[in-house]
Amino acid sequence: MKASVRPRNAFYAQSGGVTAVINASACGVIETARKHKRQIGTVYAGRNGILGALHEELIDTSQESPADIRALRHTPAGAFGSARYKLKKFADDPREYERLIEVFRAHDIGYFFYNGGGDSADTCFKVSMLAEKLGYPLQAIHVPKTVDNDLPITDCCPGFGSVAKYVAVSIREAGFDVASMAKTSTKVFVLEVMGRHAGWIAAAGGLAAGKAGEAPHIILFPEIRFDEDAFLARTKECVDRYGYCAVVVSEGVKNAEGKFLADAGTRDAFGHAQLGGVGPVVAQLVKDKLGYKYHWAVADYLQRAARHIASKVDVEQAYAVGKAAVEFAVKGHNSVMPAIVRTSNRPYRWKIGMAPLDQVANVEKMLPRDYITPDGFHITAKGRQYLAPLIQGEDYPPYEKGLPRYVVLRNKPVRKKLKTAFVL
Amino acid sequence: MKASVRPRNAFYAQSGGVTAVINASACGVIETARKHKRQIGTVYAGRNGILGALHEELIDTSQESPADIRALRHTPAGAFGSARYKLKKFADDPREYERLIEVFRAHDIGYFFYNGGGDSADTCFKVSMLAEKLGYPLQAIHVPKTVDNDLPITDCCPGFGSVAKYVAVSIREAGFDVASMAKTSTKVFVLEVMGRHAGWIAAAGGLAAGKAGEAPHIILFPEIRFDEDAFLARTKECVDRYGYCAVVVSEGVKNAEGKFLADAGTRDAFGHAQLGGVGPVVAQLVKDKLGYKYHWAVADYLQRAARHIASKVDVEQAYAVGKAAVEFAVKGHNSVMPAIVRTSNRPYRWKIGMAPLDQVANVEKMLPRDYITPDGFHITAKGRQYLAPLIQGEDYPPYEKGLPRYVVLRNKPVRKKLKTAFVL
């Protein structure tokens, strides 16, 4: 393949749940594109992700100063807006894909950088195929991002390392707190974390327990069916032995019948499924069956937005995949994703490889069973070896008046060229 | 008053809910005592707070290395264990107070440093009075600590500034997240914070909103009765204007009937009062009445244990009150508390003053009404002026393998001298 001979524009969009470092990938894309002016004209960003393309709501990133683009590296969340929007199946309704090409054609977009998880890898792949079918010259590159850490081929997913660090730091700190209080007050603390399908995030909490007796004492994974008796026995054992028990529970934990524990228990006064997550359910169970005073926390968005405690490795990898995406593009690659390749555990070393999108789309990488201890309540040495490098290093944002100084871009719209509006 | 002529031992205890910086006060007490060997022998710490004195379970802090004592400055929670234990009223049962003096006498304790909130200030005051009545020479100094920020005389309370910073940083970060997602997904985010009686912590969240439109858009204070219609109208207004709405809600918010909102709504399937806090209640209300997709978080212990994002001002003040307590003692003072005195707002300057304990005990400092906007949903410029300096500066702990390196002390017990056990 050969590089383009005249500069064409690029389209960049953020997709799905945002992370502490997806903007670092945006930074990598935009800064690198600015260094390749012979091949890449303007980087347009989609306002609210792929919707920005469908509605022809493009943002002209060339209007942003180098300092503001640089500040994306330390700013959490999605600076251009993201979207939870899955394109319809191509076979059912190709209109959306055709519209994308129409908008790309109108703005001479030759590069499509799609920053997201599994669904967006699939979309990116299909857009690439359709462009080829229609004879429209387009290089579609997927930029990996997901706190769920479930993309295949890449060793890990940008966004995950920072959530992992947040969860490990938080349960360590809360563990110290509960240990102080346990004699007369709280004996059990439950921290609910994200991970509806896979226990990667919950597993990361296990890193805080460097040795026996350290928090967390118990991790509840979505991969392991919840065994109430075993859980209660282990909780009591921890309280007897250590004076307290700290638990990390994944939102996706299911009971023996395969139902989410968060949904199984309770109804509010109006009969709605209860408002809380699984954290309070587990905590209340401990109270009802063992009588221990409890506290619980639900980190929710705080965990994935926590740029203040981002993993340095994660920030660097997020930037690197954005940078590599552009470098792949200017080298003429299409329908690929930059992947993180681990070359060494100690010291941790990694490089960027290239994954073909047809091998990425629609494959979920689950937490291996041998990362979980046989009893199902903690991580193994093997799991620890995989996870530990991903939370290494701190990369603090700048502060002003005691608060992190995060950038809000100008996000200037690009004038529309199409006469047609698109109805979703 | 004159300083003691021969060295006598000191007793230090942590009381009530712990904070990110109470160990910094312990560090200040112990390091300073070690500099006054002519007056102070050994600092004994109470294992699990005042229970350690009642049960004669003393910890010999002289067994800890200078490096470990120094590490207390960056370690959250209570290194010796705290206790939620309020002594019985002296008039009802003086036995507990008498026991304290008995234990103090057995270990030649001439200094009592009690590190806590309002209740412990009261205890400290009463112990001081009883010692005087019994002719036992004792100097009792209260070391202020409470995330609730409700002690009188002192301008602020060590522990509060770091929670304040955590909450302000967290709602800023979550606000960026929701803003990214709002087009197709979450429009309302609710963060529940501590503060059963006073809205100091919730108010601190307001610091993140430097200008109109920034998160949080709404703060719900325990001081303001919850007005459902006004709240929903404001929420809708924010979503219409900014695309999303970020809410900080104090756990202590009450409805028009004066009941905690957290208790008012819901029951689980067994008829128990619902498991969640007020965060999910408020979020569900938004969903039911306005139809917006929501997310909520309950920070719970994470907020007060979050030493990783502690306020530098708070750490310095926590250390300073511990140091001053010892300095007051060696100067012969009794029944006093080091208080933080604000001498300037811009630049923020403070010094340590001295408050007599009879003026501290049993007085709660509430959030002034003029720190809350007339509509009850945010903080005023005056509130901001008070709060802003308290979150200034970062004071990061050291990290090892991606996690903060917090110290666990050896906590060597002191051999008991009394033949009697004490039954609570």
CB A183 to CB B274 under 8 A? no
Evaluate if residue B274 carries a pLDDT over 60.
no
Q: Which of A173, A185, A214, A396 to mutate to test the interface with B (most CBs of B within 10 A)?
A: A173
Does residue B412 lie within any of the structural domains?
A: no
Judge if A210 and A193 occupy the same domain. yes
Cα–Cα distance between A127 and B223 in angstroms, integer?
A: 55
Q: What per-residue confidence (pLDDT) applies to A1?
A: 47
pLDDT digits (tens, 9 = 90+) for B237-256: 999 999 999 999 999 999 99
Q: Which of A180, A194, A399, A400 to mutate to test the interface with B (most CBs of B within 10 A)?
A: A180
Does residue B100 lie within any of the structural domains?
A: yes
The DSSP bridge pattern shows strands B349-356 and B336-344 to be antiparallel
**Mean of pLDDT over chain A:** 94
Q: Which of B148, B150, B155, B314 is catalytic?
A: B148
Distance (Å) from the alpha carbon of A370 to chain B's nearest alpha carbon: 22
**In which band, very low, low, confident or very high, does the pLDDT at B93 lie, cut at 50, 70 and 90?**
confident
CB A401 to CB B394 under 8 A? no
Cα–Cα distance between B136 and B86 in angstroms, integer?
A: 23
ipTM tops 0.90 = yes
Longest dimension (CA), chain A: 73
**Has A227 been annotated as catalytic?**
no
Evaluate if residue B271 carries a pLDDT over 50.
no
- Residue numbers of the domain that contains A33: 8-146+307-362+393-404
A81, A266, A275 member nearest B269 (Cβ): A266
Evaluate if residue A308 carries a pLDDT over 90.
yes
Judge if A183 and A245 occupy the same domain. yes
Q: Up-side HSE of residue A421: CA atoms within 13 Å toward CB? A: 2
Q: Which of B82, B87, B245, B302 to mutate to test the interface with A (most CBs of A within 10 A)?
A: B302
Chain B neighbors of A207, CB-CB under 8 A: 402-403
Q: What per-residue confidence (pLDDT) applies to A269?
A: 42
Judge if B210 and B101 occupy the same domain. no
**In which band, very low, low, confident or very high, does the pLDDT at A265 lie, cut at 50, 70 and 90?**
low
Chain B neighbors of A301, CB-CB under 8 A: 173-174, 177-178, 186, 189, 295, 297
Evaluate if residue A272 carries a pLDDT over 70.
no
CB A84 to CB B267 under 8 A? no
CATH number for position A43: 3.40.50.450
Judge if A196 and A254 occupy the same domain. yes
Using a 10 angstrom Cβ sphere, with 0-12 exposed, 13-18 middle and 19 or more buried, the burial of residue B267 is: middle
Q: Up-side HSE of residue A330: CA atoms within 13 Å toward CB? A: 19
Judge if B30 and B140 occupy the same domain. yes
Look at residues A192, A245, A247 and name the one whose alpha carbon lies nearest to residue A377. A247
CB B404 to CB A189 under 8 A? no
Between A and B, how many CB-CB pairs are < 8 A? Answer: 244
In whole angstroms, how large is the CA radius of gyration of chain B? 23
Chain A neighbors of B298, CB-CB under 8 A: 279, 296-298
- Name the percent of chain A lying above pLDDT 70: 96
Q: Which two tokens stand for residue A209?
A: 């327990």
Chain A neighbors of B81, CB-CB under 8 A: 179-180, 182-183
Distance (Å) from the alpha carbon of B217 to chain A's nearest alpha carbon: 17
Q: Which of B184, B345, B399 to mutate to test the interface with A (most CBs of A within 10 A)?
A: B184
Q: What per-residue confidence (pLDDT) applies to B265?
A: 52
Q: Which of B176, B387, B390, B401 to mutate to test the interface with A (most CBs of A within 10 A)?
A: B176
Task: Phi first, then psi: give them for residue A22, nearest 5 degrees.
Answer: -65, -30
Q: Name the domain boundary from A305, A331, A348.
A: A305
Cis peptide before B347 (omega within 30 of 0): yes
B265, B295, B401 member nearest A268 (Cβ): B265
Using left for φ > 0, alpha for ψ between -120 and 50, and beta otherwise, residue A195 falls in: left
pLDDT digits (tens, 9 = 90+) for B334-378: 999 999 999 999 999 999 999 999 999 888 899 999 999 999 999
**In which band, very low, low, confident or very high, does the pLDDT at B262 lie, cut at 50, 70 and 90?**
confident
Instruction: Compute how many other C-beta atoms are within 10 angstroms of the C-beta atom of residue A268.
Output: 20
Check: CB of residue A67 under 8 Å from CB of residue A80: no
Angle A45-A49-A54 (CA atoms, 0-180°, nearest 5)?
90
A77, A83, A185 member nearest B84 (Cβ): A185
Cα–Cα distance between A212 and B72 in angstroms, integer?
A: 22
CATH number for position A233: 3.40.50.460
Which whole number is the average pLDDT over B286-292?
A: 95
B77, B182, B295 member nearest A301 (Cβ): B295
pLDDT digits (tens, 9 = 90+) for A14-24: 999 999 999 99
pLDDT digits (tens, 9 = 90+) for A363-419: 889 999 999 999 999 999 999 999 999 999 999 999 999 999 999 999 999 999 998
In whole angstroms, how large is the CA radius of gyration of chain A? 23
Three-class DSSP labels, B310-374? CEHHHHHHHHHHHHHHHHHHHCCCCCEEEEEEEEECCCCEEEEEEEEHHHHCCCCCCCCHHHECC
Does residue B226 lie within any of the structural domains?
A: yes
Q: Identify the bridge partners of residue A245 per DSSP, sorted by sequence position.
A: A188
Provide the residue type at B26 as one letter. A
**DSSP of B292-314, one letter per residue?**
--EEEEE-THHHHH-GGG-BHHH
Check: CB of residue A215 under 8 Å from CB of residue A180: no
Distance (Å) from the alpha carbon of B78 to chain A's nearest alpha carbon: 5
Which whole number is the average pLDDT over B13-24?
A: 98
CB B300 to CB A296 under 8 A? yes
CB B391 to CB A404 under 8 A? no
**Which run of H or of E encompasses B131?**
helix B118-134
Task: Phi first, then psi: give them for residue B342, nearest 5 degrees.
Answer: -85, 125
Q: Which two tokens stand for residue A69?
A: 């683009």
Q: Which one-letter DSSP state was computed for residue A415?
A: P
Does residue A387 lie within any of the structural domains?
A: no
Chain A neighbors of B179, CB-CB under 8 A: 77, 81
CB B275 to CB A267 under 8 A? no
B246 to chain A: closest CA residue: A301
Judge if A259 and A285 occupy the same domain. yes
Task: Report the domain count for chain A.
Answer: 2
Q: What per-residue confidence (pLDDT) applies to B92?
A: 87
**DSSP of A230-278, one letter per residue?**
HHHHHHHHHHHHHS-EEEEEETT-B-TTS-BHHHHS-B-TTSPBPSS-H
**Which run of H or of E encompasses B239?**
helix B228-242
Judge if B356 and B228 occupy the same domain. no
Q: What per-residue confidence (pLDDT) applies to A362?
A: 82
pLDDT digits (tens, 9 = 90+) for A105-128: 999 999 999 999 999 999 999 999
Evaluate if residue A91 carries a pLDDT over 50.
yes
Judge if A165 and A288 occupy the same domain. yes
Judge if A62 and A134 occupy the same domain. yes
Does residue B25 lie within any of the structural domains?
A: yes
Distance (Å) from the alpha carbon of A178 to chain B's nearest alpha carbon: 8
B18, B208, B279 member nearest A403 (Cβ): B208
Does residue A416 lie within any of the structural domains?
A: no
**DSSP of A163-193, one letter per residue?**
HHHHHHHHHHHHHHHHHHHTTTS--EEEEEE
Look at residues A291, A342, A287 and name the one whose alpha carbon lies nearest to residue A161. A342
Q: Is B138 helix (H, G, I), strand (E, B) or coil?
A: coil
Chain A neighbors of B82, CB-CB under 8 A: 180-181
Evaluate if residue A293 carries a pLDDT over 80.
yes
Q: Which two tokens stand for residue B229?
A: 């219609």
Judge if A142 and A173 occupy the same domain. no
A176, A274, A403 member nearest B268 (Cβ): A274
Chain B neighbors of A170, CB-CB under 8 A: 302, 305-306
Check: CB of residue A208 under 8 Å from CB of residue A172: yes
Angle between helices A228-242 and A278-290 (to 10 degrees): 70
Judge if B193 and B321 occupy the same domain. no
pLDDT digits (tens, 9 = 90+) for B115-147: 999 999 999 999 999 999 999 999 999 999 999
A384 to chain B: closest CA residue: B401
Judge if B141 and B247 occupy the same domain. no
Evaluate if residue B197 carries a pLDDT over 90.
no
Which whole number is the average pLDDT over B384-390?
A: 98
B314 to chain A: closest CA residue: A402
The DSSP bridge pattern shows strands B403-404 and B399-400 to be antiparallel
Does residue A34 lie within any of the structural domains?
A: yes
Q: What per-residue confidence (pLDDT) applies to A274?
A: 44
Look at residues B420, B424, B410, B347 and name the one whose alpha carbon lies nearest to residue B60. B410
Q: Which two tokens stand for residue B75?
A: 């370690």
Check: CB of residue B253 under 8 Å from CB of residue B222: yes
Q: Is A118 helix (H, G, I), strand (E, B) or coil?
A: helix
Q: What per-residue confidence (pLDDT) applies to A262?
A: 84
Look at residues A150, A235, A241, A162 and name the one whose alpha carbon lies nearest to residue A197. A150
Instruction: Compute how many other C-beta atoms are within 10 angstroms of the C-beta atom of residue A131.
Output: 23
Does residue B30 lie within any of the structural domains?
A: yes
Q: Which of A68, A119, A122, A148 is catalytic?
A: A148
Cα–Cα distance between B419 and B424 in angstroms, integer?
A: 16
The answer for residues whose C-beta is within 8 angstroms of residue B161's C-beta and 6 or more apart is B21, B310, B311, B313, B314, B317, B390, B391
